[in-house]
Amino acid sequence: MVFTDEQGVFSSDPSFVATEMNGLKPQIVFKLIGPDLEDSQNLPGNLRSMNEFCSIVEQGEGLSIEDAMTITRLYKTKKVRQTPTFKGCLEIGGGTQFAVHIINKITPTSHQQSLKMCGGAGEAVTRDRVYHLQDEKQTQLDPDCMNKGYRYGKSYIPISKVDANLMTTETEKELVLICTTKRSNIRKEELCGKYAYSVIPPPTDVSGGAGLAAFATALRDLDMVAVCRYVKRADTAPKLCCLFPNIKSYCATLMMVELPFSNDIKKTEFPRLRSAPKSDQLSAIDKLIDSMDLTTKPEFKASEISNPAIQRRYECVTHRVLHPDNPLPEVDISHFLPLPL
């Protein structure tokens, strides 16, 4: 971090230094923060040169103080190394298969798991669970003597551990192509599941990567997707998944999203409108949609929107550590989740 009053000598041609920085490994991230950067067209000499320097450096960015303060309000979790959740083969039939790794691309973050029970002064505590029968004596049970039960009406049908093991589906770890279909046949509401996965080739498998890229490119060219049977581990329930081509300028891979079974689809019926909407109502909705249109504004990116619930929790924990006796700050999510209006 370097502070400057902009009074020193700064080269009027910073391109040479910027080019040298771009060639360094690892790359240097250069951020310029100044009070006058809102109006980049009318900057004084030195500040104009430094702002130009930021635009040339690959990892450079010029920020106003207001923008910098907005960024510092956001709390970010520590980055962890991504590890594959599945290492196996994608079988597409006819004895053809590609070695693949599956990694989580989108994983919902739970902000509740960081809160644990503790004493009033922060002492660590332990938790003990006890089971009782719903009888007059509240008879305590040993967990080893308990079985799972299937609720039928007001009664429970006990299922022994032997029966429970026989009820499980015997499966093998696999990712097998079932069929291909037009992309339009997969409706948006049918994309379910908690996660989205990236299906990529192993880093050292060059030939397999070429085959997977060819398969993904063929799906893209034909505007099709692949429906697969996915078993993450042996003897676990199979899942129905859809593979979408993910073509970039530097690679061609697949994205995998879970699909529902017929048991998961709930049929809903909606009553018909008793009267058609009036013209003034339609006009009001048109104006609302136009006001929220982002085509003339910066592109909407989910990767740049932080979860306000997680941000609020981090804000409160940080405030409690720094100010243990003061009340928590008021809730203000405007800097966590700004509206486009």
Per-residue pLDDT of 314-326, as tens digits, reads: 888 888 888 888 8
| Amino acid letter, 67 | D
Q: Which amino acid is located at 236 in the chain? A: T
pLDDT higher for 119 or 340?
119
Q: Please, which residues have CB within 8 angstroms of residue 42's CB and are 6 or more apart in sequence?
A: none
Inform me whether the pLDDT recorded for 28 exceeds 70: no
Residue 341 has pLDDT above 50, yes or no: no
pTM attached to this predicted model: 0.65
- What would the pLDDT profile of 87-118 be if each residue is shown by its tens digit? 999 999 888 899 999 998 887 776 655 567 77
Q: Is the model more confident about 189 or about 296?
A: 189
Instruction: State both tokens at 150.
Output: 């299937």
**Bridge partners of residue 131, in order along the sequence:** 141
With cut-offs at 50, 70 and 90, classify the pLDDT of residue 150.
confident
- Give the single-character DSSP code of 109: P
What's the pLDDT score for residue 90? 93
Specify the pLDDT at position 219.
Answer: 94
The span from the CA of 9 to the CA of 77, in Å, is 39
Of 16-25, 119-128, 239-248, 287-296, the range with the highest mean pLDDT is 239-248
201: which 2 tokens? 């080739």
